[in-house]
Amino acid sequence: MTAFLALLGREVRLALRHPADTLAAVLFFVIVAALFPFGVGPAPETLARIAPGALLAAALLAALLPLDRMFGADAEDGTLDQLLVSGLPRAGIAGAKALAHWITTGWPLMAATPVAAAMLNLPVEAWGTAIAALALATALLSLLGTAGAALTLGARRGGVLLPLLVLPLAIPAVIFGAAAIEAAGAGLSPAPFLLLLGAGVSLAVPLAPLAAGAALTGD
C-alpha cells in the first residue's frame, strides 16, 4: 500500500509540474464542445437534444490524449524497469497509473463540464448529473485506457492503435452516461443509468489493472 501511494503521489506531482498535459485535455474538451453549435446551428432545442452525447464523446476523446505517454515516458527513461523490480505487483503499478490519470485528467474535465454544458445549452437542472456521469465515464476510460496503454507500449504507432482499442470498449459509458443526463434534463431520475455506469466501473476496477499488469513486461 505504501508503494502504491508513493507511485500515485509521484504521478500526481509529475502532472502538477507539467500542467500543460492536463490543460491541453481540458481545452480540447471545451473546444470540441464549442464546435457542435457551429455544426448543427445555434437553435437551443437542437443543441439541448445533442448535448448529452456530445459532452460524453468530447470528454472521452479529451481523456484519451495523455494516455499514450502513460507508460511510454517511464519506459524511455528506465523508470518502468525500476517499477517492475520495485516489488509492487504489476497490477498495482497499473492501478496507481489509472487512478493518477483519473485524478489529473478526469477531475479537471469534471470541473470544466459546466462551461461545456452551457455552450451546449444543457438545462441547468442536468448539470449535476452531467458531472456525475462524466466522473464515472472518465473513471472507466482511465481504467480501460491503462490496459490499452500497457498493451500498445512499444508498438509502432501505438498512439493511433490506442484509441482504436479503447474507444469501442467505452461505448457503454457513452450510452449510459448520455441516458443519465437526458433523464435528468427531462425531469426523470438519472439513478438507474448512473448505477449501471457505476457497475461498469466496479467491474473494471479489478479487471483492467490485472489486464494491464499482464501486458507490462521487461522486454
Distance CA 144, CA 18 (A): 23
CB of 183 to other proteins, least distance (A): 43
CB of 65 to other proteins, least distance (A): 18
Alpha helices by DSSP H, listed for the chain, are: 2-17, 19-40, 44-64, 72-77, 79-84, 90-101, 107-119, 127-152, 158-169, 171-185, 191-215
Question: What is the 8-class DSSP label of residue 88?
Answer: S
Query: Looking at beta carbons only, is 39 or 218 nearer to other proteins?
Result: 218
Footprint of other proteins (CB under 8 A): 2-3, 5-7, 10, 13-14, 17-18, 76-79, 81-82, 84-89, 217-219
Query: Looking at beta carbons only, is 20 or 157 nearer to other proteins?
Result: 20
Read off φ and ψ for residue 79, nearest 5 degrees: -65, -35
Q: Which three cell numbers stand for residue 159?
A: 498512439
CB of 69 to other proteins, least distance (A): 13
Distance CA 164, CA 23 (A): 24
Query: Looking at beta carbons only, is 66 or 163 nearer to other proteins?
Result: 66
CB of 10 to other proteins, least distance (A): 5
Query: Looking at beta carbons only, is 13 or 171 nearer to other proteins?
Result: 13
